Structure 1
């Protein structure tokens, strides 16, 4: 788990007492139409009986989005991979395999962490896919718990953390017991992005898979 050490306990605890994750999420949805940021992702798998500690995998890259329904994750380390939503289609490009998977964005994104960031324009818009509630402030952040209303999917819960109104953490748990924590840094909000920036053209020679 990623935690911030409190260097000024009194001041941060005073802030945390005022933090309200739902208010922060509502403000983010209404006021931030586009953005760019760097991210680090740590995936922790359930510990096996033969293991003394759980296995972890760390990735990093960049993320950008434009409402409604457009975003791009570019994983740079340890393996190159790009995930693009262009408003109609969700593309996944695995560079090492030279393979591109495409599927309907509408079918793929209904109750996903990406939908929390890039799809809804307000809390009402998200409430059709998620049960939302504020969680106790922690680590100087306001938190929201989002549980998909579709209980048959792999996603179990997403905890969304805001620090001083800025999206800081996505903490994702799935039905297999795997946990994925994305930490965002160096946000550029109101980024000069347009819909054409999210067009994706499969590389020449890449295998195209349409499940």
Structure 2
């Protein structure tokens, strides 16, 4: 899987900046029930001795409907779909014509998708993540989410919101995995609470595709 996940103004005071970041996350979860956006993703591998950092860029579209449906469509440089329909998490690699299907309930707990699209409320997030506000940076308000489960592949996630936007507008997602690989998703053309057709998150494996169920 090539692209699975395979996301400020200087604060007047640290206290007020941190409160704003957490409040933005809480407002986003409470008030943004659906969304649509375009995204670009830069994945940077950890530096190795004698080698410069390597990065890869991809782009596509993102849609979600809280609490448990979302869709990432990677369009460049390779086509790939990641769809959660409420029951199953589907991953489709177009070039390989291969589909991987996993039970959604066991796949999404401590994942970046839970932070921005799957969780119904802040309490649900706090069951899986330790949430702490981070200093504002690059015009965004940031929240650091650290998984409470230590044996996963995710080390931490930072979620960035546009400062002062109401309702809270998602702008970036920065993911650090256990191997030191960093992935930054930047969102643009964000639509808040659009009306999404019921079949938006329906996925049917293409004819002839190799389907792997886990």
**TM-score normalised by length of structure 2:** 0.89
Deviations 1:23-82 (A, max 9, x none): 00000101010010000000000122241x101000000000001110000000000000
Q: Report the Cα offset of residue 121 of structure 1.
A: 2.4
Distance 2:141 2:192 in 1: 19
Alignment of 1:49-128 (within 5 A): 49-51=49-51, 53-128=52-127
Q: Distance in 2 between matches of 1:43 and 1:125?
A: 28
Partner of 2:205: 202
Gaps of 5+ in 1: 5-11
Residue number in structure 2 paired with 1:35: 35
Query: Hey, what's the Cα distance between the residues in 2 that align with 1:124 and 1:14?
Result: 27
Contact 2:29–2:121 under 8 Å retained in 1: yes
Q: 1:16 to 1:204 in 2, by over 3 A?
A: farther
Gaps of at least 5 residues in structure 2 are: 1-7
Displaced runs of 4 or more, over 2 A: 12-19
Q: CA RMSD in A?
A: 1.6
Contact 1:16 1:140 in 2 (8 A): no
Deviations along 1:67-109, one digit per CA (max 9) or x if unpaired, are 1110000000000000000000000000000000000011111
Are 1:174 and 2:177 an aligned pair? yes
Alignment partners' CA distance in 2, 1:24 and 1:15: 17
**Aligned residue pairs, count:** 200
What is the distance in 2 between the residues matched to 1:16 and 1:90? 42
Contact 1:38 1:62 in 2 (8 A): yes
